[in-house]
Chain A
Amino acid sequence: MSLEMTYLIASNVVIWLGIGGYVFYLAAVQKKLERKLEQLEELSHEQ
């Protein structure tokens, strides 16, 4: 594989990892948020 090809693939990896990482972060935040909402719902039912 040529050096140029390696750098082009590396650039693709940067883009996909960046976007993928951010989407995973958003998914993790969303999951945490849903857990908190469930807790709040349980609390309101208890009251």
Chain B
Amino acid sequence: MKNMQVNANKNSNLSLAGALVLAGGAALALSQYFIWIHAPVEVTMGLVQKIFYLHLPAAWWGMICFFIVFCASIGFLLRRSPAMDQLAASAAEIGLLYSTMALATGSLWARVSWNTWWTWDPRLSTALIMWFIYAGYLVLRQSIDNRRKMRMVAAVLGIMAFLNVPLVFLSARMWRSIHPAVFASEGGGLEPEMLTTVIVCVVSLGLLTAGLLMFRFRQKNIQERVLDLYRH
């Protein structure tokens, strides 16, 4: 009876996650209207400025995911709970995906605006270092067979890796960077329609992130239980 209840809870969690993913996907599709039609074309940069509406949410949610890795890693070290480790692993995966998307869209924007795909600017360099650190984090998780040891090492790395994240965020303000610091001025210096579009895009990707994170977390939880059953 208790098992049936647990299964029902798991299924409802997966359904909620699936619903959130669908809602996020639909919201992201709707945000296309805001990007292409609602937001005005920027005078200096032209159409290419609209890449910003895709680039910024990916970069922000990527960093938020890495913050979740940081918190869950601390949680694991304090409570030794496998769930915290699974949450950290799930968030790292999604964060890395978003960072990849942010780097790729940024590179496309740079090609038109700066006439180069890549430059060793402080913001770009710290973002690339962050990408490699979290890619390394995920590789490391796969390369240690002893699960207890792996969780411990991953938790320590999950905390250490986050040290670079605030640096990515602040790099454009702290050092001489050609990367625009969008919200450095009050109100962000954006037109109201542009601000609305930014908010819609950030919220849409946020919904999707919540759904993906929840789904992956439950999936990792079940995966580990199945692995335990096979081993015993």
Contact = CB atoms under 8 A, between A and B. Distances in A.
Given A14-B105, A15-B54, A26-B212, A4 B223 contact: no
Specify the main secondary structure of chain A where it touches its partner: helix
A4 B208 contact: no
Interface string A28-40: 0110010011001
Given A8-B47, A12-B54, A30 B105 contact: no
A4 B46 contact: yes
A19 to B, nearest CB: 7
B159 interface: no
Interface size class of B (residues with CB under 8 A): 20 to 34
B47 A40 contact: no
Contact of B229 (A26, A29, A40): A40
Interface string B1-45: 000000000000000000001000100100010000000000000
Given A23-B21, A26-B219, A3 B97 contact: no
B219 A19 contact: no
A19 B25 contact: yes
Contacts of B108: 7, 10-11, 14
Contacts of B97: 18-19, 22
Interface size class of A (residues with CB under 8 A): 20 to 34
Contacts of B46: 4
Given A26-B212, A30-B219, A14 B101 contact: yes
B198 to A, nearest CB: 15
A2 interface: yes
Nearest to B218: A30
B105 A36 contact: no
Nearest to A36: B226
Contacts of A4: 46-48, 112
Given A14-B108, A26-B212, A37-B226, 15 more contacts: A7-B48, A10-B108, A11-B55, A11-B104, A12-B32, A14-B101, A14-B105, A15-B54, A15-B58, A22-B94, A23-B21, A23-B212, A30-B219, A33-B222, A40-B229
13 contacts: A2-B47, A4-B48, A11-B109, A14-B104, A15-B101, A19-B28, A19-B208, A23-B21, A23-B212, A33-B222, A36-B226, A36-B230, A40-B229
Interface of A: 2-5, 7-8, 10-12, 14-15, 18-19, 22-23, 26, 29-30, 33, 36-37, 40
